[in-house]
C-alpha cells in the first residue's frame, strides 16, 4: 500500500475485535512515527501505552468519574466557545451521521450517553495510547504533534491496524496523572485507540465526507 492509498484507507474506527496487538507491533509503529517532522527537531511527544489490566484500571476510573457526573476538565481549549459556520454545520453533520448509522434518535438520550461513554473505554480497543506535551512549549509544538499523530495513524494502517484519535481521553487529566504518575510539567493532549477493526460492526460502516479542493484552495501564479 502506497502513501496515497494509506491516506484514503484510514478512518476513525469505533469498534475493535478482541485480537491482541503485540508490543512488537506497537514499537514498530512508534519507531517509524518518531521520524515525523518537528520545529528545530524538538520532538515534543511523550507517549503512554496502556494494555491489558493497566488499560482496564484507568478506563474504569475515568468511566466512574463520568458516570458520577464529574465534569470534564481538559488542560487546554480544544474547541471554540461558540461554533461558527462552516464548522458548526460540519460538526453537526458528523454527529448526525454517527447516530443515524446506529439508529439512535435525537430523543434517545440513554443510547447517546452509552455511545459517548464508549469513548472512555477507547471503544474497547486492546490498546489505549495517551499523548503528553511539556507545559513550557507553545502553539508551534502542537502543530508538530499533529504530524506525529498522523504518522502513527498511517503507520498503523500500513500494519493492518485501525485507530481512532480521541480528544475525549484528555477530559480527566487528574485521574490519568494519579494512575500513571505523570506530574504537572506536562499537558495531556489526547488519546488514541489502537487495534484490529471489527468490520462487522455497524458503527464502522460509515465515512464522513471531505470538502472539495475548490472550497479551501487558491492557486497564485502571477
- Digit-coded pLDDT (tens) for 9-45: 999 999 999 999 999 999 999 999 999 999 999 999 9
Residues 48 and 142: their CA atoms lie apart, in Å, by 17
- Digit-coded pLDDT (tens) for 107-165: 999 999 999 999 999 999 999 999 999 999 999 999 999 999 999 999 999 999 999 99
The domains located in the chain, with CATH, are 13-76+120-204 (3.40.109.10)
- Predicted structure pTM score: 0.96
Amino acid at each position: 500500500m502506497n502513501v496515497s492509498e494509506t491516506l484514503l484507507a484510514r478512518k476513525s474506527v469505533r469498534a475493535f475485535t478482541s485480537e491482541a496487538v503485540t508490543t512488537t507491533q506497537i514499537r514498530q509503529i512508534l519507531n517509524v512515527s518518531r521520524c515525523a517532522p518537528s520545529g528545530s527537531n524538538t520532538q515534543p511527544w511523550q507517549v503512554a501505552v496502556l494494555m491489558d489490566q493497566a488499560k482496564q484500571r484507568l478506563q474504569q476510573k475515568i468511566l466512574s468519574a463520568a458516570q458520577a457526573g464529574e465534569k470534564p476538565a481538559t488542560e487546554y481549549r480544544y474547541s471554540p466557545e461558540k461554533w461558527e459556520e462552516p464548522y458548526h454545520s460540519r460538526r453537526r453533520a458528523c454527529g448526525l451521521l454517527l447516530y443515524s448509522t446506529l439508529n439512535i434518535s435525537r430523543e434517545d438520550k440513554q443510547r447517546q450517553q452509552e455511545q459517548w461513554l464508549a469513548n472512555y473505554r477507547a471503544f474497547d480497543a486492546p490498546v489505549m495510547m495517551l499523548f503528553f506535551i511539556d507545559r513550557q512549549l507553545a502553539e508551534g509544538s502542537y502543530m508538530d504533534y499533529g504530524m506525529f499523530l498522523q504518522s502513527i495513524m498511517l503507520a498503523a494502517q500500513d500494519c493492518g491496524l485501525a485507530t481512532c484519535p480521541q480528544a475525549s481521553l484528555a477530559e480527566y487529566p487528574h485521574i490519568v496523572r494519579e494512575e500513571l504518575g505523570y506530574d504537572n510539567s506536562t499537558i495531556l493532549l489526547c488519546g488514541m485507540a489502537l487495534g484490529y477493526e471489527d468490520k462487522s460492526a455497524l458503527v464502522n460502516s460509515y465515512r464522513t465526507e471531505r470538502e472539495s479542493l475548490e472550497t479551501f484552495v487558491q492557486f497564485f501564479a502571477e
